[in-house]
Amino acid sequence: MSELRPAATPSLTALGYGAANLGNLFRPLTDDEAWAILEAAWDAGIRYFDTAPHYGLGLSERRLGAFLRTKPRDEFVLSTKAGRLLRPNPADDGGLDLDNDFHVRTDVRREWDFSESGIRASLAESRERLGLDRIDILYLHDPERHDLDLAVAEALPALVALREEGAVGAVGVGSMVSEALTAAVTGADLDVVMIAGRYTLLEQPAAADALPACHATGTDAVAASVFNSGLLAKPRPARDGRYEYGRLPDELWDRLTEIVAVCDGHDVPLPAAAVQFPLRDRAVRSVVVGGSRPAQLHQNAEWMSQPVPAALWEDLADRGLLPR
């Protein structure tokens, strides 16, 4: 690790938009529907937008870039990701990428590449799909799903080199695995990490390792998937709700019902507490949420502005539902 350096993360709005849905995640969207979602995000005051080549095999980047090209470049922050290259798929049979939950043709396929040349190619190709020269933040995407050791040894130094050259403004890692985020923060000179689903109102494993590592190194954080696959997105969660693409364990359901009871006691809607909770940690700069309908974006902005009394957080901590 180099000497502690101030993070280069640009200024982020408290609420950001994660553009996986623009890649036809879970259901297909028309271009007009995708545009309406982004207009709703912009109207709601969102100025931080995150995407990735993985999302819809490049479709999310293309749709997001088309929209952002109509906006003043200095008025928004854009992040995308590297680690998976999109290459022609010789096995394409005209089907859809449903194994990854995206309703898009499989005429291209994802290929892991953590080499310096692969990281540079990923950035160049993302710029082309987006139609934008400047990418503010470049994350390494899901390094633990390929080779975490290789990520620390090769991919992260490649990202840092791009930042030092001025090719991107800031660099980091995005992951759903807290241990991987910790290894990245302690193993490279990063600016920001995207913590997906590991620091939420329902569960906070990142509080034990990744966030302390961020505090020690001066690394910023962005919290994503804060609704835990939609479980916390409604005031009354459903017992059969999806949890990370599977069934919700009984112990988490019991925990969730306790959290709902505390929220009810303070007259705070569960989603408002869920979207605001991560910002209580001093490292967290933004909360990134998705959405496949314009109304969801407006609702999320309302949840973010809802008053939440300090007593709510105190009660949750007293009951052992949040760390102190």
Q: How far is Cα 189 from Cα 290, in angstroms, rounded to an integer? A: 28
In the chain, the DSSP E strands lie at: 15-18, 48-50, 77-82, 84-88, 108-112, 137-141, 170-175, 192-196, 220-224, 242-243, 246-247, 284-289
**Helix, strand, coil fractions of the chain, as percent rounded to 5:** 45, 20, 40
**Which residue type sits at 53?**
P
**Cα 81 vs. chain centroid, distance in angstroms?**
10
List active site positions: 55
Q: Count each helix (H run) and each strand (E run) in the chain, helices first.
A: 11, 12
Alpha carbon distance 48, 251 (integer Å): 34
CA angle 18/139/95 to nearest 5° reads 60
Q: Are 241 and 229 in contact (CB under 8 A)?
A: yes
Residue 55: CA count within 13 A, CB half-sphere = 26
Phi/psi of residue 62, nearest 5 degrees? -65, -45
